[in-house]
Amino acid sequence: MAGRYKSDLNWSDVTPKAMWLNRRQLLAGAAGTLALGTIANPVDAALGAAKTDYGAGLEPNTFEEITTYNNFYEFGTDKGDPARHAHKLTTSPWEVVIDGMVDKPGTYSFDDLMKGVSLEERIYRFRCVERWSMVIPWVGFELADLLNRVGVQPSAKYVAFETAFREDEMPGVRTPIIEWPYREGLRMDEAMHPLTILATGLYDEPMPNQNGAPIRVVVPWKYGYKSIKSIVRITLTDTQPPTAWNLYAPKEYGFYSNVNPNRDHPRWSQKFERRVGGGLFAKQTETLMFNGYEEDVAGLYSGMDLIKHH
């Protein structure tokens, strides 16, 4: 169901495709000796996603920025590791197990998931807990669409997600950086919110592996790690599911993890962020409550102490 959400963003704010394509060709040419993952592959399969009004006034980061600066610890902790190693991930065939409190549990192939789905483009802000940010033109569909298709039972209160765990394809999982597999979760109303999407691409192309191919969650008002990548399992449950970073350090990473400039990470302030791509002299800018989506999502948390339930 495209276009349920209204915002004041403009399609004209997106970097013209010709411009970033040009950049990619340059990169692809230079990548003869460099293994730059999927960037080097001349995949030009346009997804033809419907344009929407998301992201007016925002200028998206370039394809290069979005695909070379990633946190995807399954492929290593360096920001460049995912771009270097994620090409090893087999994304086709891909299956997602949907289980728990649903009417139609089962193993769904990627094609099953995409059946009858109309893809749309959404330009969202992306704020990492590490104080950097981007603007990304995702392609995807609302998570609610899938959940409604599989039939959420009334007893379900949360949605739990799990990332693929493949020792032979993911060099990072040899180190117990966190407890693998990577897990995340959302409260039902958060999962059903029209801003929450399952993304299968960006810049109108299939999702690059380093960005969470073939299918990932994007929750734009939460810190980036809530937007779980390369999903293999979706479980509907009545209890708050364990989540990877929360298990590692509960004081630093709460279950909700809403972007909140008033609640510092114990080791650093969250008042400011820096847009990736501004070069060596880029200045920090103020972080917005709920990453700028306050009007849309504040209602989900009315009456809640957002410092305690960080």
Partner 1 sequence: MIVAQRINRVLVRIPPWAIYVVSVFPPVWLFWQGMTGGLGVEPIKALEHRMGELALQLLILTLAVRPLYEWTRINLMKLRRAFGVVTFFYVVFHMLVWLVLDVGILSEIWADIVKRPYITVGMASLVLLVPLAITSNNLSLRKLGPRRWKRLHQLTYLATFLGALHFVMLSKGFQLEPYIYLGLVIFLLALRIKLPKRRPRPSPQRSSAS
> Which residues contact partner 1 by CB under 8 A?
64-65, 68-69, 73, 77, 79-80, 130, 132, 175-178, 248, 264, 267-269, 271-272, 274, 276-277, 279-284
> Would strands 95-100 and 272-275 be described as parallel, antiparallel, or unpaired?
unpaired
Closest approach of Cβ 133 to partner 1, in Å?
Answer: 11
Residue closest to 117 by CA, chosen among 96, 147, 162, 97:
147
Closest approach of Cβ 284 to partner 1, in Å?
Answer: 6
- CB-nearer residue toward partner 1: 59 or 295: 59
CA separation for the pair 67, 206 (Å, rounded): 12
Closest approach of Cβ 247 to partner 1, in Å?
Answer: 11
Closest approach of Cβ 277 to partner 1, in Å?
Answer: 6
Q: Which residues 6+ apart lie within 8 Å of 167 measured at CB?
A: 173, 174
- CB-nearer residue toward partner 1: 53 or 130: 130
Q: Copy the structure tokens of residue 195.
A: 């801003």
Closest approach of Cβ 198 to partner 1, in Å?
Answer: 25
- CB-nearer residue toward partner 1: 108 or 225: 225
Residue closest to 63 by CA, chosen among 170, 200, 201, 217:
201
Angle, CA of 130, 223 and 214, to the nearest 5°: 105
Q: Copy the structure tokens of residue 263.
A: 């609640």
- CB-nearer residue toward partner 1: 2 or 128: 128
- CB-nearer residue toward partner 1: 128 or 232: 128
